[in-house]
Structure 1
Amino acid sequence: MATGKQIDTDILSDEIFDVLCSMCKNKGRNAEGEKYCVDCKDYFCITCVQVHSQVPLCAGHNVLDKSQVKSGTSKCYPRALAERCDKHSHKHIDMYCQIHDNVGCSTCMAVDHRLCKDTFYIPELIQNNTYQISSREIQTMLKALATTLAEQADRFKQDKQRLLKRKAELLADIRKFRQEINDHLDKLEKSSIDEIEDKVKCFEDTIEDGLKQLQANKFRITSASDKLASKKANPAEVFVYVKMAEYAANVANNYVEHTKMKCTVEDIMFQPDRTILTQLEHRNTLGTLSEKLTKTSVNLFQIKGNKSYNVKVKSGKYDCYTSSVCCMEDGSIILVDYMNKKLQRLHSCKYTVTDYCDLPAYPMKCDQ
């Protein structure tokens, strides 16, 4: 085995070392790469891999032995995967659960698939050729899905534009209705003001008429008093003036007594209609909002074919009639064969009967 000491690179060939330590090679030395870092995608010798592990950013990297890496060509690639787990970022996805047809890290398998029996280490599964992968069909399906999702995204954008347009229309309707309410309230306000104006005008005219009559009576009283005070009047004129003064006094006195019997206006009161305000207080909005949902069917997957599986066991006398189906936690499927009075367990992927048990009578379906 070669060490980390200086070696002439001109005489180095694949017959001496399968791969070289990348750090030593950068420093002009040649050492065999005994370790492979999946994250860095580089080979390291025993000395350099210790330095690599001491770097804080590289402390969690997945380092493999050279025996775990396929070699033989200039383009060596690891059997382990470099993809990290979404749930456990410090772990790499290197496990596969055949029952649930799902991949994950070792922690995922220990937590979420602890009851599953068919779990495999992916590098060994691929190396042993026990599982074949057809990426071409998956790529075709992903491309079709990408197109479908893009079309759905366009529909979402169009729905959003229609929604925003409808929002503007609804807001305009609300403002229009509010304006109608304002116009009607303006009419009610004008009617109330006109009513007050008419009422005040009526009382004002009555008061003005009373003032005119008072002025007339006052003028007659003053005139009669002045004539009686005249020194040039003879006895006959005095007699006339006295009678005219008595008449003016009687008229004025009668008017005073008449006005005392009339009701005087002290104040005009306005009593608002509180039912209008009560109705507004009991309203949370200016109207009701209803929704009309339009369902659009989007098929992300299309059925391209189907298969039939024979789940009848050899001891069954009649054709299998499945009355109930149940999916268990480990991914297996439980079928109830009514006619043959059997309870069967199927493999989740192969859909073959793994075991069954005979029932003492025909199984009854429970509605609860």
Structure 2
Amino acid sequence: MASNFKSSIQRGCDFIHDFACSLCEEDGLNTEAQHFCNQCTKYYCVNCVSTHNKLYKRHTVLDRKDVKKWAAPPGMVDVLERCDRHPGEALKLVCGDHDQLCCHVCVAVDHRHCSSIQHIPDVAKGIRKDPEFRQLPKRVLFIRKQIEDMENDRKKSSSSLRKARTAFVDEIKAIRRKINDILDKMEKTTVQELDGLVADQEMSIKKDMESCTQMHEELKSLMDYIQSKDSSGEPPLYIGFRKCKEKIKQATEILQNMSTVVKYDITFRKHNGIEDNLSSMKTFGELNESNVYCKQPLISLFPRDYVFATGGYKEYNVSMSSDKHTCAIEGICELPGGEVVISDYHNMTVKLLDQEYRVVDHCDVPKYPLDVCHIGGNEVVVCVNKFGVRRELHFINITKGKLVTTRKLSFTNNCYGAAYHGNNLYISSYTALYVYTMTGQLVKKLYEDKSGGYTVSKIAISNDGKTIFITNYSNDQLITLDNLGNKLAIFTDSDLRKPIGVHATTAGHVFVCCFESDTVLQVDKDGKTKLATLAREQDGVYRPQAFFFSSRSSSLVVGREKDTLLVLNVR
């Protein structure tokens, strides 16, 4: 098999060699000779010379270094004059049109229409006097020198590459050792910080437990005293009664202080670009206490500069058997426990969903429920508005899986969108933004735009309260204000057509949904630049009207004029 393969390669080679292997030629092969034997006066290729050397160990064999000592091979002229394309034919002609040497077959097949076919003996007359021919030895020597230099350069390059590899490997290993040292120090420092935070938290927990134990024992002792003096007359009982009341008051205050911390916890968020900045960092990441306080949102799991991407979606049916119309979800918000509250405009009801987005309760409201806003704990407010008739904000408390309306506020302006910050309510009225106290007292009109009918649609407020985002439905804009009502930015984009819902997370991410372009966008914290178009109609977004970003489930919950709630997974 190997011999046949070698023969096919050699037979297919039409190169003209200055010296051809004698043995290969006898087999009809064309192989360049690399050796010459003075005794045999024959030429041998790399393969054939080994056979010769086994048979004739005392013969003197010359290699290419002594090529000048090789005898001229008989029949060399015949080899040179052989046609490359037709080896059995001699080169007799030259085509001036193509500047090619030809045999008769070449002319008959490929040069029948050429006008300049000449006989080689005629063209070759006076060749020795031709200046170009006379320079030929020098040119060949020059090009051979270049070839030799190129070969030597390649050999040097190969050697240099091997040396460079060795040097780079040593450098890489040295860098790795340095990085390992840095990582070891970072790990040690990070763990020390973690242990310190855990110790502080445990100390707070221990103090709470000790206070609970002390109050428990003191109250028990007082009750034991009162019960023991039950038959001793009223004065001792009165004294015990007063002290017990005082102790209950103390216990209540202690419990209230303790209850502000729902859960002691610690979070860890690694440094962005840690791989590129290891040498400048002291720890693997930033450690922060993340105690969960009552009426405070959970800390975001995503850094402020994080750009999200969607990763599929699901739809959840939120209709009820009592619904008379297709759902139109105008408002969405999430409770600390993961439950979701939505307003159904068409069916004039507010619905409570569990963490699996199943309807677990509802309460009817007058015409028409619009935006929903979480104001703390398990309490939300719902905008209820009918032009010229009803402009109200309903307060709803969620207790043991039930929606209970506790009170309502009435306004002179329309009530379309709502946001809450700093114990104030921010109410949009389609063309203006108002600030009210929790008791319904007007603080001020913060912003107004009468250039269209829906220039102030829904609103979102940054976690620090310094930035306010407004969707301008009429003019296809996202407006950014400071907390004094000054306009900071106007954002427009081809994907921002009829923006309606806007949401700002506690970490500073800003999202906008657009009714006409069927899109959900992420915008930078300043409201100036689009970071991503997260979803389109092909992702299930069709005529969105409200939405909410859930940090608990890392998803965007989108409400539409449809019986299903769209939940987009983000990453």
Q: Give the TM-score category using the shorter length.
A: 0.3 to 0.5
Considering fraction of residues, name the structure with more helix: 1
Considering fraction of residues, name the structure with more strand: 2
Structure showing greater Rg: 1
